[in-house]
A and B are shown apart, each in its own frame.
Chain A
Amino acid sequence: QVTLRESGPALVKPTQTLTLTCTFSGFSLSTSGMCVSWVRQPPGKALEWLALIDSADDKYYLPSLKTRLTISRDTSKNQVVLRMTNVDPVDTATYYCVRTYWDTRQEFDFWGQGSLVTISS
């Protein structure tokens, strides 16, 4: 069964770098068509897709945040890491790790429970 779990700090100071880790099971990111994305949701607001990494280790980012984001993977550990530099209070949100199986076009079919990150001094 597919599961994803986010982990990382609950509180980060402005201008610092946020690092979040997604640990997943039930699938391999080496399988053709598999992708993992990060999606965030500020309190009371809408979902926002941030970044995606696929089975070929290709990486894609929301253009407006591209300069601040880095997504990477450790296939042997079944982990995907998101780094966001120079955080601001507007980056306060629940961050979700999400799977896509592109071969069947099943977009965001499995979600982690989310990790609430507050940006505050």
Chain B
Amino acid sequence: QSALTQPASVSGSPGQSITVSCTGTSSDVGGYNLVSWYQQHPGKAPKFIIYEVSKRPSGVSDRFSGSKSGNTASLTISGLQAEDEADYYCCSYAGNSIRLFGGGTKVTVL
């Protein structure tokens, strides 16, 4: 199993929407509706923001949304705010209780 593929960086202006992609294979992203997303600010532990592709945990802003098509999952941040500047990681179940993370995407608010 290989790490999931994410773009190294994505940027947008305040108020805009951006999308971070996460590409895997039919053995992980495409095979299960078990993709989750995490936000990580510098020097901090990751924060859980999306699970089961598109579900938001309690307390997470509805500006964060998730989707999936085929072997690619996506995280969309709408109404981009300065506080959204962080690293974002996807993670997928890959069968046999294995989990795979993506390489991470640095989101910059211009």
Contact = CB atoms under 8 A, between A and B. Distances in A.
Given A46-B3, A47-B46, A113-B45, A108 B100 contact: no
Interface stretch (B9-17, B72-80, B101-109): B101-109
Contacts of B89: 46-47
Interface in A75-121: 96, 105-114
Interface residues of B, number: 24
B45 A47 contact: no
B98 A62 contact: yes
A68 B27 CA distance: 25
Given A107-B93, A108-B46, A113-B45, A49 B51 contact: no
Contacts of B57: 106, 109
A57 interface: no
B71 to A, nearest CB: 18
Interface residues of A, number: 23
Interface string A43-69: 000111100101000101011000000
A49 B101 contact: yes
A37 interface: yes
Nearest to B105: A46
B102 A108 contact: no
Given A46-B102, A46-B104, A60-B97, A108 B45 contact: no
23 contacts: A39-B101, A46-B3, A46-B89, A46-B101, A47-B38, A47-B89, A47-B104, A49-B101, A52-B99, A54-B97, A58-B97, A60-B96, A60-B97, A63-B1, A106-B51, A107-B34, A107-B36, A108-B36, A108-B46, A109-B48, A111-B45, A111-B48, A114-B45
